[in-house]
Amino acid sequence: MNTKILFLLMAAYFSACCYLHAENGYELWLRYKPTDNTRLLHEYQKKNKYILFPANSPQLQAAKEELERGLQGMLQLCLNETEKVKDGTLIAGTLQTIAPYCQQALLTDSINQLTDEGYIIASRKMEKQEVIIIAGKTDKGTLYGIFHYLRLMQTQQNLDNLFIKENPKISYRVLNHWDNLNGSIERGYAGYSLWNWERLPMHKNDDRYKDYARANASVGINGVVLNNVNAEAKSLCREWLVKASGLADAFRPYGIRVYLTAKFSAPKEIGGLKTASPKDPQVREWWKKKVQEIYSIIPDFGGFLVKANSEGQPGPQDYGCSHADGANMLAEALEPFGGIVFWRAFVYQNERHVDRVITGYNEFKPLDGQFNRNVFVQPKNGPIDFQPREPFHPLFGSMPNTPLSMEVQITQENLGHTHHLVYLGTLFEEVLQSDTYANGQGSTVSKILQGYEKSHHISAIAGVPNIGSDINWTGQLFGQANWYAFGRLAWNPDEKSQDIANEWIRMTFSNEKEVIAPILKIMLMSRETYVNYTMPLGLNHIMNYGTHNGPEPWHDDPVWTAFDYHKVTRDSIGINRTKTGSGAVLQYHKPVCEQFNSLTNCPQEYLLWFHRLPWNYSMPSGRTLWNELVFHYYKGVDEVREMQQLWTQVEGKIDKERYRHVASLLKYQEEEAIWWRDACLLFFQEYSGQPIPQELEQPRHSLDYYKRIPFPYEWNGYYD
Ligand code: GCW
């Protein structure tokens, strides 16, 4: 072969390798790149020289495979299996599989005290040999333990003298996919649904399913609702159940159960009955039979998620029955199999004179204690609808006799879709750490959710994911951090969002300080930045009516309009929800109620949520309300520019591909932030009649221009 051809072949081979190794984000936070700290590398290699890990179940096999992947990637070690303890042995399993070693290490009692999903990671000296034991009470616990152990190395922690004992603080940690059966995703911005219904159930051994399950298991997510809450009854037909069983099979080794949404009218739509009334014995019987059928196809089926009498969905109220009547009918059918009902509390009236903020509480609070023991009532984190900032939902702390699950949104429906970098860990933490004062000081939402574990032996947190068929799963790479943070907070709702971000950065990018510091700063400021340039000071729901991205405070339609949310006039802006207004503050316990009610004590972030104020109202900063609003909108844009600057600091320190991806989206975000700022201020200025100070960069276009331009992505789902 002549040298020229050889050279060309080599060049082709080389570029193919580069292509294969290009960082496209597919590996998420499970990249297992070689440990670049030589001291730690040697230490890790020494401690993982031998593996004693009898894996006799699919979950243990999954755990072992993950361990192998991690050790190979990070330490370039193959699993060197041993049956005898030697120096540097990693022992993993359960009391069934590694009992003698646990006994010898005096760990048996600690393991017995674990919950079903808990684990221990402990360094021990055994027969003078250094070993590390990873033991769960169950196979699943061991799997979680392995992920934790790998995370220690991914984040370059010291492995000396380990003693980690972990139990999840919440037992149901569930993703609520809004995936439609035709492959589209309601409010999904990262491509199409991962579920390939056409190929299911035959083609279930798809790596994409496996990698999805690995990612979930790595953060402890143990349930996934496969389909949209705006449900189709046909998902409960036998044919579709069989398809769903393929996914259940694919996820089972990773400790994940599948759930389905249940359309309340299913007995009519697919069961041939004349009614779906909970009062009708035939209807109740139909659900029982349907549930039996489901368990015959999916033996570990999780249960149902239901959106009823909300935004046009059918429900028990259609038959003069309550939410509890409806939920209990399904709960009774599921109970013999250990299944659960998640009954959503996201309801509001169509009458615009009723304050939307108070309706969920008003409908559900009177039903406290009337639900079966396998029912969760599931409010969203706030009382409106996944806005960039809301006070916590007043049902938290008000339903002591009914386990509540909290639903958060990971997909950025109202937070800039996938073009805006917004780390949601801080948003989730803000609501989890809000003090409800239900049982005195310290009754945070987090404690309320955890408390149901003691009182009702179940507890839950749900998240609407941002996952789709895009190669990097979430569209914007930083969307991955929101998936990650959701899982970590569902496992332990008292974890700090900052620590979670730090961990994610180390696993996703690098352990180098120069990389961590700027990215951490970006992440921690990003949510407040978004609030600043879109809906500061408690404003909300002024985004585009259809897409929910981009400003449309002028939206005025016969149904719900932006005016219902800001109520702007020439005199004032905001909504009076105090005791003299809609009374929403009264749904909170004292002293929260008094705090929100008082103009001077109300946190500034919620000011216009609870109070209606004149434009010249004097703010604590000394500015008028108008000038304060201007200040926030401009600050938001400045902060996006700061985020861009910070991002340039990692150029050359991380791979080109992901660097460029994020840089390009940050530019896009800046453009949209300016759009938000200009459009909102020009619109509100029509009412305030006050100027945008001359020294500030003036709006680029007229209000008329902003009202005319199309929204970038006309979403054509549910509302069309
Ligand atoms: O705010 C709305 C969303 C809908 C969604 C609904 C809900 C699934 O815009 O797309 O429907 O919330 O949570 O049920």
Q: What strands, in cross-sheet order, belong to the sheet with 223-225?
A: 375-378, 340-344, 303-306, 257-261, 223-225, 172-176, 460-464, 405-409
Mean pLDDT, the chain, whole residue set: 95
Residue nearest to atom 1 of ligand 1 (CA): 385
Beta carbons within 8 Å of 713's beta carbon, 6+ residues apart = 189, 417, 547, 549
What is the tens place of the pLDDT at every residue in 87-137?
999 999 999 999 999 999 999 999 999 999 999 999 999 989 999 999 999
Residues 6 or more apart in contact with residue 5 via CB below 8 angstroms: none
385 a catalytic residue: yes
Residue 363 bears catalytic tag:
no
Mutate to test the pocket of ligand 1, among 177, 227, 412, 413 (most ligand atoms within 8 A of CB): 413
| Model confidence pLDDT, tens digit, residues 328-380 | 999 999 999 999 999 999 998 878 888 999 999 999 999 999 999 999 999 99
Instruction: Provide the pLDDT for residue 21.
Output: 55
pLDDT at residue 17 above 50? no
Which residue is associated with the tokens 């239900």? 438
How many alpha carbons lie under 13 Å from residue 181 in its C-beta half-sphere?
15
Which listed residue (285, 300, 311, 332) is catalytic? 311
Angle (CA) 238-242-247 rounded to 5° is 145
Pick the catalytic residue: 249, 280, 385, 642?
A: 385
- CA atoms of 463 and 341, how far apart (whole Å): 16
| Mean pLDDT of the region 67-86 | 96
Cα 90 from chain centroid (whole Å):
33
**Residue % of the chain over a pLDDT of 90:** 93
Q: How far apart are CA 501 and CA 480, in angstroms?
A: 11
pLDDT score of 711: 84
> What is the whole-number distance in angstroms between the Cα of residue 187 and the centre of ligand 1?
8
Answer for the pair 107, 120: CB distance below 8 angstroms, yes or no.
Answer: yes
What pLDDT is stored for residue 322 in this prediction?
98
Q: What is the pLDDT of residue 16?
A: 44
The stretch 189-193 carries a mean pLDDT of 96
Q: What does the pLDDT look like over 641-668, one tens digit per residue?
A: 999 999 999 999 999 999 999 999 999 9
CB 236 within 8 A of CB 262: yes
Give 84's DSSP letter.
S
Model pLDDT, residue 128: 92
Q: Is the pLDDT of residue 14 over 90?
A: no
User: What pLDDT, on the 0 to 100 scale, is given for residue 4?
Assistant: 57
What is residue 462's predicted lDDT score, i.e. its pLDDT? Answer: 99
Give the SS3 label for residue 52. strand
What was the pLDDT predicted at 5?
58
- Residues 433/446, Cβ–Cβ less than 8 Å: yes
Mean of the pLDDT values across residues 478-486? 99
> What spacing in Å lies between the alpha carbon of 385 and ligand 1's midpoint?
8
Probe ligand 1: pick from 232, 346, 384, max atoms within 8 Å of CB?
346
**pLDDT digit string, tens, across residues 142-185:** 999 999 999 999 999 999 999 999 999 999 999 999 999 999 99
Question: Residue 716: its pLDDT value, please?
Answer: 46
pLDDT tens, position by position, 552-581 = 999 997 778 999 999 999 999 999 999 999
Structure confidence at residue 284 as a pLDDT band (50, 70, 90): very high
Beta bridge pairs of residue 572: 614
163's tokens: 């003693």
State the Cα–Cα distance between residues 389 and 491, nearest whole angstrom: 23
pLDDT of residue 710: 85
Between 82 and 716, where is the model more confident? 82
The closest-lying atom of ligand 1 relative to the alpha carbon of residue 228 is: 8
**pLDDT given for residue 352 in this prediction:** 82
Query: Which residue of the set 117, 413, 495, 678 is catalytic?
Result: 413
| pLDDT of residue 719 exceeding 90 | no
How do residues 677-694 score in pLDDT, each as one tens digit? 999 999 999 999 999 999
| pLDDT value for 557 | 78
Task: Compute the distance between CA of residue 347 and CA of residue 393 in angstroms, rounded to an integer.
Answer: 12
Ligand 1 centroid – CA 717 distance (Å) = 11
Distance 689 CA to ligand 1 centre (A): 35
Predicted pLDDT at 18: 41
Least confident of 264-273, 633-642, 702-711: 702-711
Tens-place pLDDT, residues 26-53: 999 999 999 999 999 999 999 999 999 9
- Residues 445 and 430: their CA atoms lie apart, in Å, by 10
Measured between alpha carbons, how far is 571 from 689 in angstroms, rounded to an integer? 10
Query: Which residue's CA is the nearest one to ligand 1's atom 2?
Result: 385
Question: Tokens 């922690």 map to which residue?
Answer: 157
Q: Atom of ligand 1 at shortest distance to CA of 310?
A: 14
Is there a catalytic annotation at residue 671?
no
Q: Report the nearest atom of ligand 1 relative to the CA of 230.
A: 8
Task: Give the position, in ligand 1's atom list, of the atom nearest the Cα of 548.
Answer: 9
- Provide residues with CB under 6 Å of ligand 1: 178, 186-187, 229-230, 307, 311, 346, 385, 718
Q: Whose CA is nearest to atom 12 of ligand 1?
A: 385
386 alpha carbon to ligand 1 midpoint, in Å? Answer: 9
Burial 521-535 (b: 16+ CB within 10 A, else e): ebbbbbbbbbbbbbb
Closest to 607 in 3D by CA, of 577, 637, 582: 577
For 353, counting Cβ atoms within 10 Å of its Cβ (0-12 exposed, 13-18 middle, 19+ buried), the class is exposed
Q: Quote the pTM value.
A: 0.96
Average pLDDT in the 537-566 region? 93
Give the model's pLDDT for residue 15: 44
| Atom of ligand 1 at shortest range from CA of 718 | 10
Tell me: the pLDDT tens digits for 204-241? Answer: 999 999 999 999 999 999 999 999 999 999 999 999 99
The rounded Å distance from CA 631 to ligand 1 centre is 32
* Cβ–Cβ < 8 Å for 193, 468: yes
SS3 content of the chain, % helix, strand, coil (to 5): 45, 10, 45
Determine the Cα–Cα distance for residues 331 and 175; give it in Å rounded to an integer.
20
Residue 714's pLDDT is: 55
pLDDT confidence of residue 9:
56
pLDDT at residue 720 in the model: 36
